[in-house]
Chains A and B, each alone.
Chain A
């Protein structure tokens, strides 16, 4: 009787464990690869800016933003263990939805505020940066 209930309990435990393992957790190799990539992707933008490597600032800015996007993806894959299968795809769906809202928020704010700025005739604090 006691053994049977113990077995049942154990079976339940295994079941729960199996499901949890279906959740995201990485191996040592994942973390090390992710870490090495992240270090490289962090070092390059700092080097570009501090060493003044590229000919003009615009190129440096583009490179820094591009590397940041790549590093975010690396973190998502190797540290947050994102994939399209975890939780039946719902984490990925939530992420995609969030990204859409983020893009609309950022580009929308910049667009509207820039438009507003350029329609203002009076000098904005924006123009006062030239004042010593």
Chain B
């Protein structure tokens, strides 16, 4: 009762919370939901590969084609790019522009290294006559791994865009938000790659 009496006239009309727990903008949550929808795209492609991945049409199988050392190097490149992006985020939190840019540049180079190895592998497969039109296995393989590669490509373009913006405008609140979104995107691609190297490459070589 004492509390009720302490209310002012203005407060009495108020039936809603003025201070609620939502963040001021929903960008990060919205971006997370985008990532989840992206996750569904990959789930469908993985399901497709799981169904078609043994239909070799008398062509080469994964055991004949996959070169595990290249895949291991690719995995290492992506994993290193994940932690260098983490270092970039830590520098950004500390508002240090130059280290942020340097770590972002390293991340971008590792991403480009990943892409060039993947393109080399694709090129090699196609020249061996194991292109996407050879069998259902290879079609689903190229679509799944290619979609991941396409995501990394766009991640690299986005990374360069953000580097230019950071260099020009420094590390304000909105820039940190953008870096955070790319951070989620980049780490998410690494998570998808875990599925690709385990399920497609390692299990593909096994049988």
Q: Which residue numbers of A lie inside 8 Å of B, CB to CB?
A: 13, 15-17, 19-20, 22-28, 30-32, 34-35, 38-39, 42, 45-46, 49-50, 57, 60-61, 64-65, 67-68, 71-72, 75-76, 79-80, 87-88, 90-91, 94-95, 97-98, 101-102, 105-106, 109-110, 113, 124-126, 128-129, 131-132
Contacts known (A23-B23, A72-B195, A80-B184); A94 close to B32, Cβ less than 8 A: yes
Q: Does B21 contact A (CB under 8 A)?
A: yes
Residues of A within 8 A of B79 (CB): 35, 38-39, 42
Partner of A87, one of B23, B54, B86, B173: B23
B24 touches A19 (CB 8 A): yes
Q: A110's closest neighbor in chain B, by CB?
A: B50
Is B127 interfacial (CB-CB < 8 Å)?
no
CB <8 Å contact, B198 and A22: no
8 Å CB contact of B199 from A20, A60, A65: A65
Q: What are some 14 contacts across the A-B interface (CB < 8 A)?
A: A19-B23, A25-B89, A28-B87, A35-B79, A35-B82, A46-B68, A57-B207, A64-B206, A72-B191, A87-B28, A88-B22, A128-B56, A129-B55, A129-B56
Within the assembled complex, what's the spacing in Å between the Cα atoms of A13 and B176?
13
Interface residues of B (CB under 8 A from A): 21-24, 28-29, 32-33, 36, 39-40, 43-44, 46-48, 50-51, 54-58, 61, 68, 72, 75-76, 79, 82-83, 86-87, 89-90, 93, 135-136, 173, 176-177, 180, 184, 187-188, 190-191, 194-195, 197-199, 202-203, 205-207
Question: Can you name the residue of chain A whose Cβ is closest to the Cβ of B44?
Answer: A105
Give Cα A101–Cα B44 distance, bound, in whole angstroms.
Answer: 10
